[in-house]
Amino acid sequence: MNTKLLIRYAIRETMGLMVMGAALFWAAGRLDWWPAWAALAVMAAWIVATAVTIIRTNPDLLAERLGPRRGAKSWDTAIMSLVGLIQLGRYIVAGLDQRYGWSGGLPIGGQIAALVVSGLGYGLVVWATAVNTYFSQIVRIQTERGHHVISRGPYRFVRHPAYLGALLYELAVPVLLASWWALLLSSLSVLLLILRTALEDRTLQTELDGYADYARRVCYRLLPGIW
């Protein structure tokens, strides 16, 4: 394992956590807000689990996820830039909602259920990362790495399981934070991620050898029996 890459990963993800925490607690005007700490814990657990998974199963993937974005699709860059801004806005809105009580609160049982769902969502993302040697953070065909179709693990059931996990988190975390307004923003993020799923799937079907046959075997992109 390249130590420099691991340090870069740790710095990047730590900074992301700090920005998320700052957005939540600055907007809320308080630190004693357990759902925000729970959301940060889920995110931190996902970061650590992803690092451990990559180091144990496919160390080369770390360089792919941190390296230059050669071959990135312009639509992918645009979509993920918007998603990042929406996610940041969601945390700020959730914090303001907590401060001013716009949503009026939610039952704690619902918040705990949302915490579980958000954890399961990111657990599914980690599972996909563990089995997919080519789990890049951008949409591109990794020809130099011998890119081929992955059909084991969660990819036996849907073609884009990591997106399904991400969508579960996107919908659950605003409920955990007890903010209907944040859920509205998350819904925009969900729509963009669904669009990205469709565009990525089309790219893979036209540019990755064997993917069209895989798509005929595994018929659904995100939800079995639906789409």
- What are the sequence ranges of the domains in the chain? 3-217
pLDDT of amino acid 68: 61
- Inter-residue contact 130 to 53 (CB < 8 Å): yes
Report DSSP letters for 62-95, one per residue: HHHHHS--TT--HHHHHHHHHHHHHHHHHHHHHH
pLDDT in tens, 87-103: 999 999 999 999 999 99
Residues in CB range of 169: below 8 A, 6 or more apart: 42, 117, 118, 121, 122, 125
The CATH number of 3-217 is: 1.20.120.1630
Question: What pLDDT score was predicted for residue 67?
Answer: 67
- List, for the chain, all residue ranges whose pLDDT scores fall below the cut of 50: none
What is the predicted pLDDT for the residue at 60? 80
